[in-house]
Structure 1
Amino acid sequence: MLSVATWNINSVRLRLPLVQRYLAEHAPDILCLQEIKCQEDQFPAQALAEMGYEHQAICGQKGYHGVATVSRVPIREITRHDWQDNGEARHVGIEVVGRDLFLENVYVPAGGDVPDREVNVKFGQKLDFLERMARWADSVDKPTLIVGDFNVAPLESDVWSHKQLLKVVSHTPIEVEALDRFRHAHGWVDIGREHVPHPERYYSWWSYRSPDWKKNDRGRRLDHMWASPALAAQARSHGVLEEARNWEKPSDHVPLVTGFDV
């Protein structure tokens, strides 16, 4: 078995104790982090290496964005796609050495507040990002797992209120259609929904604005793990650690993890 986790940590230096707690208590073989918010030389590489995660692929920038993949098993960085087309650190791709598995770690732009590319540049950038991902996916010919914060909750059961969020960025029809084009470009299998079938409730993010996230439960599924069909057939388990949203000074996202028989 090989276990792969993904987590938008919302500043890895600020929340290093949470990362260490997660690794100590759950010990995935590979952890993909998004929104690390630091340059590569500021990443807490040594602290994580001391926990056994000595294999690392880090794509960072000052203060914003950034992704990192840390592993207990050997990995080799192979790609850094600029799907944002402006140099932002939003992707790193690795090969798991000795396993037939390629792992893409991505942080899709949030898209601002107004779902109209004519008045909101950020929203247009998000749609273009997803389109570039789709063009890339069309040529994927290896067993690949793509994980991360997609910033889109595509299904009605991926949000606390489909009706109230239809015009809210992350759940608008145009974003869902763009993500669907990406899914069809390679025939990706949504691992989460294979294990937690629609219409079951499934969230990975709760806003900081909610005074009691657990009671109000106004969540969205913004984080995803999608696999090539043959690799998806090897997925044996999948979990969401909702309790991490209740840890001290938490990220607004929680970890997902999938176990593969590879």
Structure 2
Amino acid sequence: MRATIATWNINSVRLRVELVAAFLEQEAPDVLCLQETKSPVDKIPAERFAELGYSHMAARGEKGYNGVAIISRIPLEPLGHEDFCGKGDARHVAARLPGGVALHNFYVPAGGDEANRDTNPKFAHKLDFVAEMADWGRGLDGPAIAVGDLNIAPLEHDVWSHRQMLKVVSHTPVEVEAFEAARAAGGWGDVTRADISPEEKLYSWWSYRAKDWALADRGRRLDHIWARGGAAAVPGSSRVLKPWRGVEKPSDHVPVIAAFELG
């Protein structure tokens, strides 16, 4: 079967429940992976999503912080989570899709403002988290898809200015090296960039701080879709849905979507 999978850092699922509902109605993905839900699992508005046909969910949550959820209109088999860095925070959840494909939803730490692991514990946490993703990826077996807000823009055209961003957290060389090591360790392919040329500027996040985000267009591609082990993405199906940044009370991220043949 063919299924579309979307990923979106929603920046509070309860605050933006109707925005999520509008997205589900308009874009109708089969599966939506949310990050930064900022909600305990029992407070996620699952009934609202079920009204729209999305009656399956696997989630982890915290009050006011982090949080990841997979909501789906096709059956899911929850697969639990990994506790990266042993902090107990809600940054990973997994489920098995029809056809046996494992789906992993990640929210990688942002890393704070200073790109120095010795003086910034948040940056150290980020680097350690991504290193553990590499170790975890080496042990994977079988087809899998990984999505989420990975908080790293690895390529030159994943940021508005490669030169000016080299010392800014999310695009520093040490982060990019760790990101690519984790991707290689798991045998992951970058689904979005397989469809959209690396020479094309492509962003999924624009800061709230900009007076006119669209005019400034100083974005970063922080949200990713990866696939491995025979999980077959449909060529040409990738989209980054920039218009969702321009809606009323938006998230600072936009949805990223791709289709897969699940077998």
TM value normalised by structure 1: 0.97
Matches within 5 A, 1:1-262: 1-96=2-97, 98-228=98-228, 230-232=230-232, 234-235=234-235, 237-262=237-262
Using the TM superposition, give the Cα deviation of residue 3 of structure 1 relative to its aligned residue in structure 2, in angstroms: 0.5
Determine helix, strand or coil for the equivalent of 1:237: coil
Distance 2:43 2:137 in 1: 31
Distance 1:230 1:43 in 2: 33
Gaps in structure 2 of 5+ consecutive residues: none
Distance 1:186 1:118 in 2: 28
Residues 190-228 of structure 1, C-alpha deviations (whole Å, 9 max, x = no match): 001001111111100000001111111000000000000
Distance 2:168 2:86 in 1: 25
Residues 93-112 of structure 1, C-alpha deviations (whole Å, 9 max, x = no match): 1001x323110000000000
Residues 116-166 of structure 1, C-alpha deviations (whole Å, 9 max, x = no match): 011000000000000111000001111000000000000000000001110
Determine helix, strand or coil for the equivalent of 2:86: coil
What is the number of residues matched between the two proteins?
261
Distance 2:31 2:255 in 1: 12
Distance 1:249 1:234 in 2: 32
TM value normalised by structure 2: 0.97
Using the TM superposition, give the Cα deviation of residue 81 of structure 1 relative to its aligned residue in structure 2, in angstroms: 0.7
Distance 1:147 1:242 in 2: 18
Distance 1:183 1:210 in 2: 31
Farther off after superposition, 130-139 or 236-245: 236-245
**Is the contact made by 1:191 and 1:232 (CA closer than 8 Å) also made in structure 2?**
no
The one-letter code of the counterpart of 2:6 is A
Using the TM superposition, give the Cα deviation of residue 79 of structure 1 relative to its aligned residue in structure 2, in angstroms: 2.4
**Is the contact made by 2:203 and 2:220 (CA closer than 8 Å) also made in structure 1?**
yes
The one-letter code of the counterpart of 2:163 is K
* Paired-residue identity, %: 52
Distance 1:59 1:233 in 2: 26
Distance 2:50 2:179 in 1: 35
Across the aligned residues of Structure 1 and Structure 2, the Cα RMSD in angstroms comes to 1.0
Farther off after superposition, 220-229 or 233-242: 233-242
